[in-house]
């Protein structure tokens, strides 16, 4: 069982994984904040007033992809970069993973959300 866990999570301790996940989450929050601030409030496909419910429903699939990308970054960081994962690189992993997910959401049809259904405009 120990070999299995090492294969899944590498040689990092659970404490390091949690700390790095915290910093990656901060990166995701910064990237999400910039998306929220850049939204077109006059568009018919976004609410005039910010809504957490709309935001999470609209971005749920993107967040799933972001989590997968963060895991891949953490797990293979040392093999890809030949450096040790740090708090700063974990923050950057979250920031860039969310940005990549955002680009993917715009170009992959399965990740797009029908906003008319979110607004009940069928």
* Cα dihedral 91/92/98/102 (nearest 10): 160
Average pLDDT over residues 97-112: 76
Task: Name the DSSP letter for residue 19.
Answer: H
Task: Name the DSSP letter for residue 11.
Answer: T
- Retrieve residue 83's tokens: 């450096």
Write the pLDDT tens digit of every residue in 111-121: 666 666 666 64
Write the pLDDT tens digit of every residue in 16-44: 999 999 999 999 999 999 988 887 778 77
């Amino acid at each position: 069982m120990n070999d299995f866990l090492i294969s899944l999570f590498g040689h990092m301790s659970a404490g390091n994984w949690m700390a790095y996940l915290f910093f990656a989450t901060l990166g995701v929050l910064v990237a999400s904040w910039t998306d929220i601030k850049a939204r077109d409030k006059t568009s018919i496909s976004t609410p005039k007033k910010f809504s957490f419910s709309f935001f999470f429903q609209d971005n749920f699939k993107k967040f799933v992809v972001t989590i997968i990308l963060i895991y891949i970054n953490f797990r293979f960081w040392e093999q890809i970069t030949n450096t040790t994962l740090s708090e700063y690189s974990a923050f950057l992993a979250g920031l860039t993973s969310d940005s990549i997910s955002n680009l993917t959401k715009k170009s992959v049809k399965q990740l797009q959300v029908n906003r008319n259904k979110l607004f009940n405009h069928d």
